């Protein structure tokens, strides 16, 4: 598993979908939660999860063209 990240005013994280057990075309729904000692401090987005499909090997060819 290869993961990397950066933290300043923006948090960036790079983690392969496969490391999380996802396969191409799986639906992912997620929230980001900040907790301290088990207590929820913040949650983004607050109401509805971020939702997307895991890209497959054709993603760049389909989405990016000049």
Model pLDDT, residue 7 = 62
CA distance 56 to 21: 14
Model pLDDT, residue 64 = 82
Report how far Cα 12 is from the mean position of its chain's Cα atoms. Answer: 10
Q: Is the pLDDT of residue 4 over 70?
A: no
Residue 6 bridge partners (DSSP): 12
For the stretch 13-66, pLDDT in tens is 888 999 999 999 999 999 989 899 999 999 999 999 999 999 999 988 888 877
- Long-range Cβ contacts of 60-64 (<8 Å, 24+ apart): none
Model pLDDT, residue 14 = 86
* Strand, helix or coil for residue 53: strand
Q: Which of 21, 29, 20 is nearest to 53 (CA)?
A: 29
């Amino acid at each position: 598993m290869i993961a990397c990240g950066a933290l300043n005013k923006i948090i960036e994280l790079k983690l392969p979908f496969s490391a999380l057990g996802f396969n191409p075309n799986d639906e992912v729904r997620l929230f980001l939660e900040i907790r301290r000692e088990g207590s929820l401090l913040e949650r983004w987005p607050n109401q509805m999860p971020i939702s997307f499909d895991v890209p497959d090997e054709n993603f760049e060819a389909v989405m990016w063209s000049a």
